Structure 1
């Protein structure tokens, strides 16, 4: 019964539905829920450091219930996105209502699309990886699959990783450097894979070309059925979703570094190279993404068996609160710099 807690992740689609169907201030229901209600709950509810026995790990790893919880996000995301686009094309919204709707759908895509895509993208099963890429489509960030799996997980906490934020780097500078750097890295990964497998650039094996084709087709379809208003909205929520993703990247590895060894290689990725969070609501809503130290230590571990690593540095607040604090760089630096491991 305790595993039914992950149903709480669907509260984001639920409040997004309210944002879509309501008008006025209620279009802001999702950001209010994500960045006011959840942070307050995380201050009230104690952190949970629970781990599992070997027997529990074995049974949870094979339990398909946890997989179906992920799959169910696909209809939620695409149905709500369609309804939002449709209502925008037939109803009149004030500027503030439009902003509320963009924020709400952007948060939905960040949590229930990109985040779930991230989990599925680490799976060995081709079908699950394909579902992950499908969820990245409306986020306009399909190249994330290549860069994250073949770039970020290799170079995390090193200067070679654009998705690792440096000490005293503001989140605003990081947005630009990470988005641009990861896009370039994705192409580098793709070119390397093509070369290693002896495929030409113009090839059905060039996933980057496919990603651009699918995303352009998606936007053209939106423009055809929902007009320029729908197109601008689709672009807006997509961009906002990956800005949220990059803000999460920012807080997950801020200021942490892997040491370079005498042989010129970096030390192996260890739990202390990622910030961890055991705040319960964030753990549930983000499918244990907040147990990021264990995820980077063994990237193939499914979300339901990720554990707390005592040696990992701990975020003082949950993800939503940390995101808000990061938007004020002096506050973030004052909070986090003193927590960075001593060199």
Structure 2
């Protein structure tokens, strides 16, 4: 048999279940009584493995994509994330109810927050699909962070306005994460509410019903938090609120790095050009891509939002991050380091023409970025 006749196979197929390691980490922390294990693994160990393993730029041939898309194997991995996520939440609530030390409590909040923040990525994968089951599972994955409006805003807001100044989830050149955070949290909520209420009013019905995708998602959070408070005492509500902030802040940190400074240009008619692979930062780091269902192949996702994670492609024209999301997330928390690394890359992407970038209104090019 010639090399050309060998059928293509997904060499990452046995690796995809590793995404389930994240919601399993709290159980390892429980056994070891080490509640900083999860944040250290996610923010320290994964970036190190990323460097050691390196990149994977292999794309599936288009002729195998229909079979890959239809395979239930990949779908079930995302489904299994949810029971593990909820079990981890119950375990961390039980530990909180026992009254951990201050250090353990801080690790506990970060543990639950990071797991549920990464679960928003699972919700993201599920929420883009047409199947009703997956869309409802998306809302269930969002419930622990109380960020159910993401289901509306991401699909109908962000994907329409991405890489424009009008998008609250697209960060601007010169904007720090700490400035971006309040802008995107507030702006995304207001946008989601406007989109969903407009949808109901256009159909001649009140938005104040459980058919409202924001309200039914928030209802799931209310039921979940009430059940946990009944099971573990009202004191657990403080823990749930803190971990929720960590969770949705993790999402917003990822949003921050995905489109930093990138801008769709206006065409002759004054409209923004169509979204293409140049409008998202990509990373081909294999390890983080496995843990995040290839979220880092973000350009293809925006160009083809219905493609399932196992079929997403890497493009040469996409601007590339210098490291995986796990590393870049940590870097985003330190604005001087972030700008030193990323501002020159944005400028190079536009051949030094800062007017083509999505810039903070008060942005100025620093000498070292020229």
Secondary structure of 2:120's counterpart equals helix
- Bigger helix share: 1
User: How far, CA to CA, are the matches of 2:60 and 2:295 in structure 1?
Assistant: 17
Measure, in 1, the Cα distance between the counterparts of 2:210 and 2:270.
36
Q: Which residue of 2 aligns with 1:39?
A: 47
Query: 1:19 touches 1:104 (CA, 8 Å); kept in 2?
Result: no
- After superposition, the CA RMSD in angstroms is 1.3
Q: Is the 8 A contact 1:222 1:234 kept in 2?
A: no
Determine if the alignment matches structure 1 residue 230 to structure 2 residue 240.
no
Alpha-carbon offset, residue 42 of structure 1: 1.0
Cα deviation digits, residues 155-187 of structure 1 (max 9, x gap): 000111000000010001111110110000011
Rate the CA distance shift 1:110–1:202 in 2: closer, same or farther, 3 A. closer
Partners of 1:300 and 1:201 in 2: how far apart? 27
State the secondary structure of the residue aligned to 1:3: coil
Moved more, 190-199 or 65-74: 190-199
Deviation at 1:278, TM superposition (A): 0.3
SS at match of 1:159: coil
Match of 2:201 in 1: 195
Is the Cα–Cα contact under 8 Å of residues 90 and 228 in structure 2 kept in the other structure?
Answer: no
Per-residue Cα deviation, 1:263-295 (whole angstroms, up to 9, x for no partner): 231110011100001000110000000100110
Alignment partner, residue 264 of structure 1:
270
* 1:274 and 1:293 in contact (8 A); partners too: yes
Shift of 1:236: 1.3
For 1:214 and 1:289, how far apart are their aligned partners in 2? Answer: 25
Tell me if 1:239 matches 2:245. Answer: yes
Residue matched to 1:206? 212
2:32 aligned with 1:22: yes
* In 2: Cα distance, 1:294 partner to 1:256 partner: 15
C-alpha deviation, 1:8, in angstroms: 1.2
Secondary structure, aligned partner of 2:235: helix
Deviation at 1:296, TM superposition (A): 0.4
After TM superposition, the score normalised by the length of structure 2 is 0.89
My pick for the range that moved more, 5-14 or 295-304, is: 5-14
Contact 2:24 2:84 in 1 (8 A): no
Pick aligned residue for 2:309 from 303, 312, 330: 303
| Displaced runs of 4 or more, over 4 A | none
Structure 2 residue 167 is matched with structure 1 residue 161: yes
Residue 58 (structure 1) aligns with: 66
Unmatched tracts of structure 2, length 5 or more: 1-10, 351-355, 357-370
- Structure 1 residue 216 displacement after superposition: 2.5
The offset of 1:60, in angstroms, is 0.8
* Alpha carbons 2:140, 2:217 under 8 Å: kept: no
Following superposition, the deviation at residue 70 of structure 1 comes to 0.5
- Aligned match for 1:335, one of 310, 331, 341: 341
Question: 2:113 aligns to what?
Answer: 106
Q: How far apart in 1 are the matches of 2:69 and 2:213?
A: 30
Do 2:259 and 2:281's aligned partners in 1 also have CA atoms closer than 8 Å?
yes
Q: TM-score, normalised by structure 1?
A: 0.95
Unmatched tracts of structure 1, length 5 or more: none
Q: Secondary structure at 1:80's aligned position in 2? A: helix
Task: Return closer, same or farther for 1:166/1:223 CA change in 2, 3 Å cut-off.
Answer: same
Question: In the alignment, what sits opposite 2:364?
Answer: none
